[in-house]
Structure formats: structure tokens, C-alpha cells
Chain A
């Protein structure tokens, strides 16, 4: 159903109809599956990479300027490529490791490669916000680097880290939708195949609606959690 042969109201009504949702509902599951898997990888790898960037920086806890510059350059290169290009570039890798270049699993490689560098930079800047004084105090109490990271830096930066992760998750949802048109499936795929190629405006509306709601929910949870922690610590 589209706007060429039907009225606007009818198309919108149809967007909530059972035929449309028979197509959209499975796509939601695919999207959630990809998003959640990428979220986990991004959290672990991004946090690790961000901390490595912070620790090895010239002013960091364990300065390794050369290594830091090289790693920073890799991160910058990955960040400067548009997600679409990254997806195309990583498809051969998916074929190599997973054995196929289509389906939700295949695109997770691309999603992780495109989201981890971004989250790593956000983690780096969040942790750099922890006041020098607190780090000084921890060092003056004889804290080795690992406990300094786990007991001081991460807990102190937690509200900021949660906000950074919220931004990352929203980016993941958006890249997941994009990956849809490269054979990954999910809401992006449905929106392009039905909404764009076959002029099924009602399906396009339904897919967009779900994406909007997903992003809103993520933002709401992220903001809420970050605010809860800040409030609990009586910092606002």
C-alpha cells in the first residue's frame, strides 16, 4: 500500500495492520539480535581499547607514545571511513571467518569494526574527565595501575561512561539498519526492500516507527541510569 494509489490516512492505518507486522515483527527480532550482539562486543572491546589509549598516552599511567600514536592512527582511520564502506570492506573477512557474507552474524563483524573505535574514543574522553586530584590521591596511597583503573577511574567516570555507551548503542542501531541493505536482514532491510524498492509506504512507516521507538527507549534508559548514579552520589 502506498501514497500513489491510497490516501495518507489509509496508508498510516495500514502501517499498523497485521499484514505489515507479519513482515516487520521478525525483522525487529533480527535487528535486536544484531544490536545486542554488537552491543556486547562493543562494550568489552571498546572499553578495553579506550583504556589502552588512555593508559599509553604521553600523560597516561604507563606512557608508550609510539604505540599510542600507532593505535590512535588505526582508530582514526576506522572512524573516518563511512559505515557503508566499512561494511563492504569487512564482507570478505566475514566470509573468511564465518563462511558467509550475508545474514545477521556476517554483518556483526562490520558493525563491531565500525562501532568499537567510536566507543573507544568516547571511553577515553570520559575517563580523561576524572579529576587529576583523585588520580594523584590514589597514586599517593600506593595504588598500582590495574586497581587504579578498576577501583578509581571506571567507578568515578561511570555516569559519563553510561552516557557514552548510550550514544554508542544508538549508533549501533543506526548502523545495523544500514547493514540491512547489505544482506544482514532486520528493519533496515525491510525498509529498503519493501518501503523503497516496492513502494510499500506502510511497511516503511512501520519500520521507521520501530527504529524511532528503539532509539528513544535506549536514550531513556541511558539517561535514567546515568542520572540515577549521579543523584545517588549527591553530585546534582
Chain B
């Protein structure tokens, strides 16, 4: 076992570490269909420290989306503990759950902007829900749109924007109410490579400027390599590997992680050859 791997396993024991901001402990989730029951999460343990950009990678059906959706209780786990900050979220009553969700930003693969609202109104939405005054909303929305560099699109409708611009609005909307955590559910999977880079740059920028904790899930190793400090590999409902991105990338121990690195290397090599030919 390499140094990195042993270091990693030691870290995973520190699950109740007080410095961790998000703690997930023994999380189980099973979906029941009439024909069968599908165990999606089979005992997830995870800690994310404050201000980290944490990436979770896995193939389709590994349970990534279910895991991230458990964090704001869009999906109700069967058992286990989820703690974010001082909130123990699985026990929150409905009203408090809504207040808590207002402090968790989330961005989506298909953006999920409201077509009936302009860019301004989309970003204003979470503030309206939280009950801010009109003046406060205007001030906040304008500064948010400045942050995502969409000040000139303030009165446009989502229908007029490109995919990258839509995701920027999604990010501004997710950040408008100054959340403690940003959850990113495959936020760049529907974007072209160049736009993906600019959106990831924005996420890194926000992380640095606001000290925001970001948890993102993806099926692309490049996204994690480019953005995250720490990562976890999810395989069939279990975390098979976690630790600093660099360690896992250079020293994958699980089958899934090895496969991801191999695929990544293949693609990069091809790209390089292609670029070489083009020159």
C-alpha cells in the first residue's frame, strides 16, 4: 500500500472530526419499485471540510445523484446521519427544512431556470422566498450578476441565453441567498468543453472569494482534476476511495478509480495526437 493510500484510510477513520463541515455517516437508501428493490446507497461515510471543493465521481447508476440529493433532503435516506454545519438534517421538520434549504445552493445539469422569469427575476426568486425587501433584492441580484459577469443580460429571458450563460444564472441564483454550501449536480455535463472550463473557473473563483464549500458530482475526471481539492470515488452505492485528488489520480487503488484514470489518459492522449496532427 502506498503512502497516499494509507494516509487516506487513516483520514476516513476521522469521521466525527469536529473540523468537518459536512458529515455523512452510514447513509443507506433503497428505492422500491413494484418488481424489485434497488439498493442505491449502501453505507456512505463522508466528511467535507469548510471551504473545500469536494468532488464525487462515479459511473452512471453509482448513486451520485441520490447521494447529493440526500444532502438537501430532496431524497429521504432510509437511515444514517447527515450533518451540515450544526444542522442534523434528517430530523428537521418541514418548515425548518425549507429554511435550511434556503441556505443550501444547488445547481443542475439542465439548469432548471424559470422560463417565465427574466434573468433578474430568476436570481431574485430565492430572495423573494426568503422574504427580502425589494430594495435589498435589487442590490443583491445586481451584485450577483456582476459576480457571474452577466450584468448586461439582466432583463433577458433564459430562452435568449446560451447553455453557459444559463448555468451562470443558475449559479447566481444558487448563491443569491448566501448559502453555506453549494451542491453541483452534474452542472457541466450538458456544456461544451470550453464553456465547462469557464463555469468551473467561476466555481473556483467563488470558492476563493466567498470561502464557499462546494460539493460536486460528475462522471468526468477532468472536471475533478481541474476543480477539486478532495475527491471520493463512488461505486455501486459505496465509497471505494477518497482523499486528495492528486493522490488518487497518480495512485488509484480501486478498480473504478483505475478505470477513470485510464479512460482519462486515453482521451488526453488522443486529444494530444489530434492536436499534433492539426499543427
A-side interface residues toward B, CB under 8 Å?
A: 131, 133-134, 136-144, 147, 151-152, 155-156, 158, 232-235
3 nearest CB pairs, A to B: A234-B159, A142-B101, A155-B116
Q: A144 to B96, alpha carbons, bound, how many Å? A: 11
Closest to B128 in A: A151
Within 8 Å of chain A (Cβ to Cβ): is B218? Answer: no
Our pick among A131, A141, A155 for the contact of B101 (Cβ within 8 Å) is A141
- Would you call B101 and A139 a contact (CB within 8 A)? yes
Q: Kindly list chain A residues whose C-beta atoms are within 8 Å of the C-beta of B98.
A: 142-144
Please tell me if the beta carbons of A156 and B115 are within 8 angstroms of each other in the complex: yes
Residues of chain B lying within 8 A (CB to CB) of residue A137: 106, 108, 112-114
Contact in complex: A142, B159 (CB < 8 Å): no
Q: Is the CB of B114 within 8 A of A140?
A: no
Q: How far is the CB of A140 from chain B (nearest CB, A)?
A: 4
Distance, CA A158 to CA B74, complexed state (A): 26
Least CB distance, A235 to chain B, in whole angstroms = 5
B101 touches A235 (CB 8 A): no
- Residue of B with least CB distance to A229: B116
CB of A133 within 8 A of CB of B101, answer no
Docked pose: A136 CA to B111 CA in angstroms: 11
- How far apart are the CA atoms of A216 and B108 in the complex, in Å? 43
Minimum C-beta distance from A179 to chain B (A): 37
Q: B156 to chain A: closest CB distance in Å?
A: 8
A232 to B159, CA, bound (A): 9
Is A234 a contact partner of B112 (Cβ separation < 8 A)? no
Q: Residues of A contacting B177 with CB < 8 Å?
A: 141
B128: chain A residues within 8 A (beta carbon):
147, 151
Q: State whether A233 and B115 are in contact (beta carbons under 8 Å apart), knowing that A141-B101, A143-B98 are contacts in the complex.
A: yes
Query: B266 at interface (Cβ–Cβ under 8 A)?
Result: no
Is A155 a contact partner of B117 (Cβ separation < 8 A)? yes
**B265 close to A (CB within 8 Å):** no
User: What residues of B have a CB within 8 angstroms of the CB of A147 in the complex?
Assistant: 128-129
Residues of B within 8 A of A142 (CB): 97-102, 126, 129-130
A143 and B173 alpha carbons, distance in the complex (Å):
14
User: Judging by beta carbons under 8 Å apart, are B125 and A141 in contact?
Assistant: yes
Q: In the complex, A51 Cα to B173 Cα: how many Å?
A: 27
Q: Is B138 an interface residue (CB 8 A)?
A: no
- Judge whether B104 is part of the interface by a CB distance below 8 angstroms: yes
Which residues of B lie under 8 Å from residue A138 when comparing CB positions? 114, 125
**Given contacts A137-B106, A158-B116, A234 and B157 within 8 Å (CB-CB):** yes
Verify A131–B129 contact, CB threshold 8 A. Answer: no
One of A133, A140, A233 near B104 (C-beta < 8 A):
A140
B114–A155 contact, CB under 8 A?
yes
Given contacts A136-B74, A232-B157, A235-B159, contact A141 B126 (CB under 8 A): yes
Complex A-B: 13 CB contacts under 8 Å? A136-B74, A137-B114, A138-B125, A139-B101, A141-B101, A142-B98, A142-B126, A143-B129, A151-B125, A151-B128, A156-B114, A233-B115, A234-B159
Q: Does B19 contact A (CB under 8 A)?
A: no
Check if B160 is an interface residue, CB within 8 A of chain A. yes
Nearest Cβ in chain B — how far from A63, in angstroms? 14
Give the interface centre of A131, A137, A138, A235 by most chain B CB atoms within 10 Å.
Answer: A137
Q: Are B157 and A134 in contact (CB under 8 A)?
A: no
Contact A233 B108 (CB under 8 A): no
Residue of A at shortest CB range from B117?
Answer: A155
B153 interface residue (CB < 8 Å to A): no
CB neighbours (8 Å) of A136 from chain B are 74, 108, 112
Known: A156-B114, A233-B116, A235-B115. A140 touches B159 (CB 8 A): no
12 further interface pairs, Cβ-Cβ under 8 Å (given A134-B113, A147-B129): A131-B112, A133-B112, A137-B112, A140-B74, A141-B126, A141-B129, A142-B101, A147-B128, A156-B114, A156-B116, A234-B159, A235-B115
